[in-house]
Amino acid sequence: MTPYHYWLCNYVPTCVPIKLVNNQTVYSAGEGTVVFNPIVNGKAVRPLEFSQILHVPDLRNNLRSGLFLTCQKGFTVSIDTIKMSFEHPAGNLLFTATISASNAAFLGGSTVPLMEYASAPTTLPLDLDLWHRRLAHNHLEGVKRLLKKKPITRMTLFKSDQ
């Protein structure tokens, strides 16, 4: 959940009641997706798209449910005294959160506001997987042939190791 409407793309008006820890009920105004640029062990890693993010204008901070990620999305969440680690599938570390002295956890990374990019895919690295998805899930050998023969102008690959 986030109070920041400008982070959300694919925004759909949605009214969901949310009961807060102080027994107050607030309501969402909409739902969308957010592109998150994680930092893991001091290095930027592949951007992630979080889906089903509720826009809740009455919140003061972002909230992410670890139970939702584990129960509904199949994540493995590990917690120690200073850090939370989020893996999906198990063994594939996607992002981390640092635990503060007040027992609040803060994700390592940043969210780019929607107004700074045209669409979520434009913020992702131009690798074979992204071209595979952009070309209607054409098989990877077909995508490689297109890159090699260059029948499409401005089709580039930034990660040649894949």
DSSP letters spanning 80-115? -SSEEEEESSTT-EEEEEEEPTTS-EEESEEE--GG
CB atoms within 10 A of CB 13: 9
In the chain, DSSP finds a helix count (H) and a strand count (E) of 3, 11
User: Does the pLDDT value for residue 55 go beyond 90?
Assistant: yes
81: nearest Cα among 107, 62, 108, 105: 105
| Separation of alpha carbons 45 and 37, rounded Å | 7
User: Does the pLDDT value for residue 6 go beyond 90?
Assistant: no
The β-bridge partners of 44 are 39
| Residue reference for tokens 């893996």 | 87
* Residues of the chain above pLDDT 90, percent: 48
User: Does the pLDDT value for residue 157 go beyond 60?
Assistant: yes
- Express each pLDDT in 57-114 by its tens digit: 999 889 988 898 899 989 999 999 999 999 998 889 999 999 999 999 999 999 877 6
| Residue-averaged pLDDT of the chain | 84
Report pLDDT for 125: 57
Confidence of residue 118 (pLDDT cuts 50, 70, 90): very low
User: Does the pLDDT value for residue 29 go beyond 90?
Assistant: yes
* Residues of the chain above pLDDT 70, percent: 81
